[in-house]
Amino acid sequence: MEFQLIERIRERTAQGREDVHLGIGDDAALVMPPAGQQIAIAIDTLVEGVHFPHGIDPADIGWKSLAVNLSDLASMGASPAWALLALTLPKQPREQVQAFIDGFADGFAQLAQPHRLALIGGDTTRGALTVSVAVHGFVPVGKALTRAGARAGDVVLVTGTLGDAAAGLVLWQQGTRVDEESGRAAYLMERLHRPTPRLSAGLALRERASACIDISDGLLADLGHIAHASGLAAEIDAPLLPLSPMLLGSFDDATAREFALAGGDDYELCFTVPPALVAEVQGDLARMGCGATRIGRMVEGSGVRVRNAQGEWLETGRQGWDHFAP
């Protein structure tokens, strides 16, 4: 049964690459990175009921399990190459397991193939539904983006819009059914289940962004990582937060702002740029379709503060997602 499942995954995710000398089917894969490139490696684990709700389409799980990892590569300015997959499946009838595998692999492949990402190995086992994906990408030596390079005076920007995924999760938890609701619900749930890793934006930010991170745990938490690693503070202007019409049409302004600041699961990029490069970067990312919105600045100090339209500092409360919070 296990080897049949592996073969089903292999068939649906096949992607040829000249740097993969031996892929799925042996005890280990053999790969050859190109000269002059560093290998960027990231891994994420998704657990049912924690990272994705019970009962969602297996194709969405396949897509998201890869997307969250590709987003990590994007934040480093790396281009994707290879992936490893560890899949833990609950005990179910054979037909249900095969149907899940087929859907999962199709969703995974829908995102992998446009980026020429090859699945080169992994493992399957039995237990609570859990997906672990490790991705490997390339970045020229010394060109990787990190969290630690921001300087006082740099401008803070984000791609796309914020808070949509958190709103989609609330709608899902409320039992909203897309086929019975407005297009707003469909859009917000799509942003939750099928985030778009900003790989092209990450490549465009090489040698221009001073620091970068992807927004997985919430803007406050993730920008806080840049601030901490760079030894600075960050100030955000709440009225500048990019909020989609779909979000604003579904929730009041205060709730939408809370989703944007602390909701998480957006997988947009948050990055810092010297003021002289802001217009250039915004123009390039606008042409890519994701855009880049200026939301604040880096200053001396520590932590992240949010200012309202009246110039008053806000009490922000929850900072973002924490797996080990009580």
Q: What's 87's domain CATH number?
A: 3.30.1330.10
Confidence of residue 179 (pLDDT cuts 50, 70, 90): low
User: In the 8-state DSSP scheme, what is residue 278?
Assistant: H
Q: How many domains does the chain have?
A: 2
Q: For position 98, what pLDDT does the model report?
A: 87
Return mean pLDDT, the chain.
90
The candidate with the shortest Cα–Cα distance to 121, out of 190, 24, 211, 212, is 24
160 and 303 housed in the same domain: yes
Q: Are 162 and 242 in contact (CB under 8 A)?
A: yes
Alpha-carbon distance values, 252 to 32, 167, 185, 247 (Å): 52, 11, 15, 9
The candidate with the shortest Cα–Cα distance to 9, out of 128, 142, 133, 189, is 133
269-273/155-159 β-pairing: antiparallel
CA distance 298 to 230: 10
32 and 56 housed in the same domain: yes
With a cut of 50, say whether residue 322 has pLDDT above it: no
With a cut of 80, say whether residue 207 has pLDDT above it: yes
208 and 295 housed in the same domain: yes
Q: For position 321, what pLDDT does the model report?
A: 44
Mean pLDDT, range 234-243, rounded to an integer: 97
With a cut of 60, say whether residue 7 has pLDDT above it: yes
Q: For position 6, what pLDDT does the model report?
A: 66
Structural domain boundaries, residue 167: 155-307
Q: For position 183, what pLDDT does the model report?
A: 85
With a cut of 90, say whether residue 44 has pLDDT above it: yes
H or E segment at 132? strand 130-140
- pLDDT tens readout for residues 64-109: 999 999 999 999 999 999 999 999 999 888 888 888 989 999 999 9
212 and 303 housed in the same domain: yes
Q: Are 197 and 70 in contact (CB under 8 A)?
A: yes
CA distance 183 to 265: 20
CA distance 162 to 141: 32
Q: Are 257 and 187 in contact (CB under 8 A)?
A: no
Q: Is residue 209 part of a domain?
A: yes
Q: Of 152-161, 172-181, 194-203, 282-291, give the lowest mean pLDDT range.
A: 172-181
